[in-house]
């Protein structure tokens, strides 16, 4: 957080260079700040940050930041939002961790700055719009991959950080809709509160408790690699199928070596870019970008063995910058 602006005292006969420097400093201090607040640290958000960088190049008169939260809790996000409000930022995009318990705080933010949600929505709040995935549709897409992996049916387990997040609930809903009326049986949805040790324990416990488990699916980016590790450690690679979400490097390696069937990927680069540029449009009085239902949907796609090499190469380019 910046301290108060120091008084700048120049001699009356200041040089042109000194005046230019003083003007530049003043302009830098007057730049409006836009921030994207994440729910967890992940490559997913690094890619979103690349989208912010593109927006930054196009709009050098703004300061655009990526705020990575480490806890994945409503309380952690509340602290980040309070800090941003104290700093007087002009616009915030946030992946909401716990919409029901965050609504009051989000409304406080929306009253003071331009607020949009991305990746995980809070539709009951006064956010201007949501930019991201139709998570029910993405869940259905994952459900289709699960059915494809288990043509004769079987028991499946789902893993996610918290069911308090809209994107988690909606993905589970989509999967349930897709497998309804089939021989695919969901034994349970296991949550870990973004605690990697707990997530790993959940997966190991499922492999012991359900010796006939046919497929495991991680619905947040960090979980599929942990499932990959747990299945390999149990000596059941290839026997227990895996379907994932998002584009973690280990998930892609697992698809390449045949341990993971497929993963449903979003477009976080677009989440970042569209968040920043549409906040700037709004600050300039243009709200024409907001759809009637206040949801700007960015489509998802399936990555499997047929297209993983090409996708991984494009991702590597994004992450190395």
The terminus-to-terminus CA distance of the chain in angstroms comes to 27
- Does 312 fall in a domain? no
Same domain, 93 and 113: yes
Same domain, 194 and 233: yes
DSSP state of 175: H
At 14 the pLDDT is: 40
Residue percentage of the chain with pLDDT more than 70: 90
Confidence bin at 11 (pLDDT 50/70/90): very low
d(CA 162, CA 159): 9
d(CA 313, CA 318): 9
Strand 130-132 with 154-160, pairing? unpaired
Helix, strand, or coil (residue 134)? coil
- Does 77 fall in a domain? yes
Kind and range of the H or E run holding 191: strand 184-191
Same domain, 181 and 72: no
- Does 247 fall in a domain? yes
pTM of the model: 0.81
d(CA 248, CA 229): 13
- Does 36 fall in a domain? yes
Q: How many domains does the chain have?
A: 2
Q: How large is the average pLDDT for residues 129-152?
A: 97
Same domain, 85 and 170: no
- Does 297 fall in a domain? no
- Does 210 fall in a domain? yes
d(CA 129, CA 188): 32
The answer to whether 40 touches 194, Cβ cutoff 8 Å, is: yes
Q: Is the pLDDT of residue 15 over 80?
A: no
Q: How many CB atoms lie within 10 A of CB 13?
A: 6
Same domain, 117 and 166: no
- Does 90 fall in a domain? yes
Q: Domain range holding 58?
A: 16-133+267-290
Min mean pLDDT across 65-74, 105-114, 137-146 is at 65-74
d(CA 167, CA 171): 6
Q: How many CB atoms lie within 10 A of CB 302?
A: 18
At 13 the pLDDT is: 38
At 114 the pLDDT is: 98
Closest CA to 100 of 161, 163, 159: 163
d(CA 23, CA 38): 34
- The distance of Cα 123 from the centroid of its chain, to the nearest Å, equals 17
Same domain, 149 and 86: no
Q: How large is the average pLDDT for residues 68-97?
A: 90
At 72 the pLDDT is: 66
The answer to whether 200 touches 190, Cβ cutoff 8 Å, is: no
d(CA 209, CA 82): 43
Same domain, 142 and 248: yes
Q: Is the pLDDT of residue 22 over 70?
A: no
Same domain, 70 and 38: yes
Same domain, 142 and 112: no
Q: Is the pLDDT of residue 180 over 80?
A: yes
Strands of 295-297's sheet, edge to edge?
A: 62-67, 32-37, 91-94, 114-118, 130-132, 295-297
The answer to whether 171 touches 142, Cβ cutoff 8 Å, is: yes
- pLDDT averaged over every residue in the chain: 90
Confidence bin at 317 (pLDDT 50/70/90): confident
d(CA 263, CA 65): 29
At 29 the pLDDT is: 56
d(CA 28, CA 32): 9
Confidence bin at 69 (pLDDT 50/70/90): confident
Kind and range of the H or E run holding 190: strand 184-191
- Does 91 fall in a domain? yes
Same domain, 145 and 238: yes
Distances (CA, A) of 287 to 118, 201, 299: 17, 46, 22
Q: What is the pLDDT of residues 237-285, one digit of tens each?
A: 999 999 999 999 999 999 999 999 999 999 999 999 999 999 999 999 9
Same domain, 126 and 22: yes
At 6 the pLDDT is: 34
Same domain, 56 and 108: yes
CATH number where 240 lies: 3.40.50.2300
At 73 the pLDDT is: 74
Q: How large is the average pLDDT for residues 121-138?
A: 96
DSSP string, 70-118: SS-SHHHHHHHHHHHHHHT-SEEEE--S-HHHHHHHHHHHHTTSEEEEE
Q: Is the pLDDT of residue 24 over 70?
A: no
Confidence bin at 230 (pLDDT 50/70/90): very high
Q: Is the pLDDT of residue 154 over 70?
A: yes
């Amino acid at each position: 957080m910046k301290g108060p602006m120091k008084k700048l005292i120049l001699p009356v006969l200041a040089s042109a260079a000194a005046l230019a420097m003083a003007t530049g400093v003043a302009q830098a201090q007057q730049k409006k700040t836009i921030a994207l607040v994440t729910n967890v640290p992940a490559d997913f958000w690094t890619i979103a940050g690349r989208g912010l960088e593109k927006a930054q190049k196009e709009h050098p008169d703004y300061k655009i930041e990526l705020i990575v939260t480490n806890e994945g809790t409503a309380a952690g996000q509340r602290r980040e939002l309070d800090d941003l409000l104290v700093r007087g930022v002009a616009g915030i995009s946030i992946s909401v961790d716990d919409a029901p318990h965050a609504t009051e705080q989000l409304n406080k933010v929306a009253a003071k700055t331009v607020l949009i949600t991305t990746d995980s929505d809070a539709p009951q709040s006064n956010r201007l719009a949501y930019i991201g995935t139709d998570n029910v549709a993405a869940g259905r897409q994952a459900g289709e991959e699960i059915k494809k992996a288990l043509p004769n049916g079987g028991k499946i387990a789902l893993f996610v950080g918290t069911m308090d997040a809209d994107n988690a609930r909606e993905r589970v809903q989509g999967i349930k809709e897709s497998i309804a009326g089939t021989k695919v049986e969901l034994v349970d949805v296991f949550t870990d509160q973004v605690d990697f040790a707990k997530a790993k324990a959940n997966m190991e416990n499922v492999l012991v408790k359900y010796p006939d488990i046919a497929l495991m699916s991680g619905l947040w980016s960090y979980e599929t690699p942990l499932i990959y590790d747990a299945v390999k450690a149990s000596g059941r690679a290839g026997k227990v199928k895996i379907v994932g979400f998002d584009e973690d490097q280990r998930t892609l390696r697992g698809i390449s070596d045949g341990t993971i069937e497929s993963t449903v990927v979003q477009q976080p680069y677009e989440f970042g870019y569209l968040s920043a540029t549409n906040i700037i449009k709004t600050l300039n009085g243009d709200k024409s970008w907001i759809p009637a239902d206040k949801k700007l949907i960015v489509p998802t796609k399936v990555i499997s063995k047929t297209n993983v090499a090409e996708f991984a190469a494009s991702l590597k380019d994004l992450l190395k910058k």
